[in-house]
Amino acid sequence: MKIVIINYGAGNIQSIKFAIQRLGYEATLSDNAEEIKTADKVIFPGVGEASSAMEKLRVTGLDALIPTLKQPVLGICLGMQLMCKHCEEGDTNGLNIFDVDVVKFDASKKVPQIGWNQIENLTSDLFKNVNNKEFMYLVHSFYVPLNDEAIATTEYGIKYASALQKDNFYGVQFHPEKSSKAGEQILKNFLEL
């Protein structure tokens, strides 16, 4: 199986590569369109600031490529947010795969949310063998409101969408590669889709 992690200079991609290795698979890092197109599974990572990450995608032309991919694609954290229509952070237009806008948590709680929180209302094969209310590690200041494409929800002052799916595109706000055994199970499920 060919697994490609999109490498566009945004994020801690070593951790994802290592997590995939622990599952017995190998992943390649690439920003090459041909490499990405011919992969069986594509992982779209990202941490940091939305507008500068989006700019990096534009420079490499990956912003046009990603929405056209046909194989399973998993966006993680900022990767998932960039797959949405618009991000409040840096007033950034996203890849418009998910039909929803990313907005900032209000100041009634600490921002960023950092730590382990639960995922519920799990409605996707991505969560096979994962318990309802399982703990995942999250670090984020912006969130995706509840919407029709939500496949998991989390509560932080409000209930929001912590995972999304549309056709072959999946997105998770949490870090499966940092979320202990349950996180690894989710990565495994994705790789075995």
Stretch of residues binding other proteins (CB under 8 A), selected from 28-36, 91-99, 137-145, 162-170: 137-145
Per-residue contact string for residues 66-105; x = within reach of other proteins by CB under 8 A: ----------------------------------------
Within its chain, how far is the Cα of 50 from the centroid?
Answer: 13
* 188 is an interface residue for other proteins by CB under 8 A: no
Q: Which of 141, 145, 158, 192 binds other proteins (CB under 8 A)?
A: 141
- Strand-pair partners of 136: 117
As measured in angstroms, the least distance from the Cβ of 114 to other proteins is 5
The Cβ of residue 14 has, within 10 Å, a number of other Cβ atoms equal to 11
29 counts as binding other proteins under rule CB under 8 A: no
Question: How many residues of this chain interact with other proteins, rule: CB under 8 A?
Answer: 35
- Of 25 and 135, nearer to other proteins (C-beta) is 135
Among 29, 35, 48, 153, binds other proteins (CB under 8 A): 48
User: How many other β-carbons are positioned within 10 Å of the β-carbon of residue 188?
Assistant: 18
Catalytic positions, written as ranges: 77, 175, 177
**Residue for token pair 């499920």:** 189
Q: Which of 58, 104, 110, 128 binds other proteins (CB under 8 A)?
A: 110
The least distance separating other proteins from the CB of residue 97, rounded to whole angstroms, comes to 22
- Does residue 25 belong to the site contacting other proteins (CB under 8 A)? no
Residue 128 has φ and ψ, to the nearest 5°, of -55, 135
Interaction between residue 121 and other proteins (CB under 8 A):
no
Task: Of 41, 40, 38, 81, give the one whose Cα is nearest residue 57.
Answer: 81
Using CA atoms, how far apart are residues 67 and 137, in angstroms rounded to an integer? Answer: 27
Cis ω for the linkage preceding 145 (within 30 of 0): no
DSSP structure string for 82-141: HTEEEETGGGEE---SEEEEEEEPPTTS-SSEEEEEEEBS--SGGGTT--TTEEEEEEES
**Binding interface with other proteins (CB under 8 A):** 12, 14-15, 18-19, 21-22, 47-49, 107, 110-118, 135, 137, 139-141, 155-156, 175, 177-181, 183-184
